[in-house]
Structure 1
Amino acid sequence: MRDNVFYTTTADYVYHELRSQILTKKLKAGQRLPEIAIAKRLDVSRTPVREALRKLANEGIVQLIPNGGARLTAPTKEEIESTYEVREYLERLSVKKAATRITPLQICKLEEQIEKEEKSFEDKDLEGYLEINKRFHSIIAEGSGNVVLAEYIENVLSRTYVYMVFYENFFDFHDNPSLDEHRAILSALSRHDEELSVQLMKDHLDLSCQGLLSKPRGEQR
């Protein structure tokens, strides 16, 4: 347990601690992640650290180097483009399916996420903002009715949000363009407008990708 949060396993605790440190920029792109040092700092054995690193590697956040330990990914322009290409393909499919299947309860949940997103942006809470943003897209994926598709989207969301942490400077903006884009997507889904939902999702992800690619790869902000 940590800060009144209960974890099912020690590996789960280590995973969330490392991910939190990434999201709060305490760990930087390309930084080495030595098992012994992490285990000592978190007061756990090396086994759960190894399991947590494998999970992060499966999400594309960590690279496991044969005989070289682990390090945070430092994505190139090509890797970011490739990841967003996959994300756009999957999310266009999920929002298309969700447009005809989404339930009133899921619409309400999306509305709640938008309200939370607005507050987290005002509070400059990066970790909260990213988790809420991710939840918004996950609810749409769940609304597709395709469990496998939702699992793939969950994975690719983790990758792209870490890229955003590495290369985006969220709170220099006076407003949050993503918020209006989310509102537009929600409106289209509420009207069960399949074609518009797909187009709005495509535009939303294109703008997100372009914003990341405009940042120098070596810039850590």
Structure 2
Amino acid sequence: MLKKDLVVHSTLANQVYQHLKKRIINQELKPGTRLIVSHIAAELGTSLTPVREALTSLTKDGLVEMIPHKGACVAKPTRKNFEDLFVVRKVLEGLSVRLAASRLTPADIQTLDELIDRGDSILSAGEAESWIEMDMKLHGFIAQKSGNELLIEILSGIQDRIHIFRLLTVGWPDGVKRASQEHQAIVSALRRGDVEGAEKLMMEHIENTLRVGLENEE
């Protein structure tokens, strides 16, 4: 195969991957939905190979699972999946806020305050999905400010799974109110320069998010 053909093929596989990933994350494709290669290829007007490669990548991401005698399906996260995810998330985000604490400027603190204020407005308006987006931005902003490229990369790599957890388990409005209060406490600790306090509050926040989320799922 010519190099040009390889590039085109790779681009097609990535386009299929991004298309399916977006639909899974947005819950257009619900957990347990079968992903039939021939149907997807026909829908997108592509050959079978890019679809198979996209499904392989999504399986590695944990968004798709291969079930014997059934084929590819949108992954249906279990309680254990979420518990494992949040054990890792708690450690990573605790480290993230610890590293960010010494690097945050007054302007950065103001940005965090503005995100929290925006979240409160969204909460008042009853817009659950918009609040989830704000939540992702706040946690992502702190991660970026850690200055640790590897940590940022690892956190980015599990964001899709975290986002699915948010969508499946968001506790509206009580759970969101609790999370908003915890965000405020974390930012207040950062404003005071209380590094250990901010780390402790972040880790407790992640633990509470898992606990409340699993309660909402039951």
Deviations, residues 16-70 of structure 1 (Å, cap 9, x unaligned)? 5434433443322222222333344445555554454444334322224578542
Residue 37 of structure 1 corresponds to 39
Decide whether aligned partners of structure 1 residues 32 and 18 sit closer, same or farther in structure 2, where only a CA change above 3 A counts.
Answer: same
Counting only pairs closer than 5 Å after superposition, residues 183-198 of structure 1 correspond to structure 2 as 183-198=184-199
Instruction: Report the Cα offset of residue 87 of structure 1.
Output: 0.5
Aligned-partner SS, 2:102:
helix
Residues 153 and 37 of structure 1, relative CA distance in 2, 3 Å threshold: same
Question: 1:152 maps to which residue?
Answer: 154
1:47–1:191 CA distance, 2 compared to 1 (3 A): farther
User: Given the superposition, is the C-alpha separation of residues 106 and 32 from structure 1 closer, same or farther in structure 2, using an over 3 Å criterion?
Assistant: farther
CA distance in 2, matches of 1:178, 1:164: 12
1:178 corresponds in structure 2 to 179
Quote the Cα distance in structure 1 between the aligned partners of 2:89 and 2:54. 24
SS for the counterpart of 1:70 is: strand
AA matched with 2:208: L
2:208 is matched with 207
Pairwise mapping of residues 50-129 of structure 1 onto structure 2 (< 5 A)? 50-64=52-66, 69-129=71-131
Question: How many angstroms apart in 2 are the aligned matches of 1:118 and 1:52?
Answer: 38
Kindly state the Cα deviation for residue 197 of structure 1 after the two structures are TM-superposed: 0.4
Percent identical pairs in the alignment equals 35
Q: Distance in 1 between matches of 2:150 and 2:84?
A: 20
What is the match of residue 163 of structure 1? 165
Amino acid across the alignment from 2:89: R
- The alpha-carbon deviation at position 196 of structure 1 amounts to 0.8
Change over 3 Å in CA distance of 1:101–1:39 after alignment to 2: same
Amino acid across the alignment from 1:134? M
Unaligned runs of 5+ in 2: 1-10
CA contact (8 A) 1:185 1:197 kept: yes
CA-atom RMSD, angstroms?
2.9
Instruction: Give the whole-Å Cα distance in 1 for the aligned partners of 2:35 and 2:41.
Output: 10
What is the TM-score when the length of structure 2 is the normalising length?
Answer: 0.78
Q: Which has the larger radius of gyration?
A: 2
Match for 2:78: what amino acid? T
Q: Indicate the structure with greater helix content.
A: 2
Deviates more, 1:41-50 or 1:148-157: 41-50
Cα distance change, pair 55–122 in 1 and its aligned pair in 2 (3 A) = farther
Which is worse superposed, 36-45 or 149-158?
36-45
- Preserved contact between residue 61 and residue 162 of structure 1 (Cα < 8 Å): no
Q: Does 1:132 align with 2:134?
A: yes
Give the C-alpha shift of residue 211 in structure 1: 1.4
